[in-house]
Amino acid sequence: MENGDLGHMMGEPVSLNVGGCVYSTSLSTLKRYPDSMLGAMFRGDLPTVKDSHGNYFIDRDGPLFR
């Protein structure tokens, strides 16, 4: 499997700023549970806000989010 193939399987990378802690994951991971808050956000059912660095901002406790 080539590197490009692995990226396709994992999905588009996404960065989240949760209370000042930046986390990175894939869009497919965020959409895995469609009834969750993250699933609804990235399905387009809830509004999203980006910080000045382009990370999606979630106003919650960052360390607890982990």
What is the per-residue pLDDT across 2-61, written as a single tens digit (0 to 9) for each? Answer: 555 555 556 899 999 999 999 999 999 999 999 999 999 999 999 999 999 999 999 999
Alpha carbons 9 and 22: distance in angstroms, whole number? 23
Alpha carbons 34 and 64: distance in angstroms, whole number? 21
Alpha carbons 51 and 6: distance in angstroms, whole number? 28
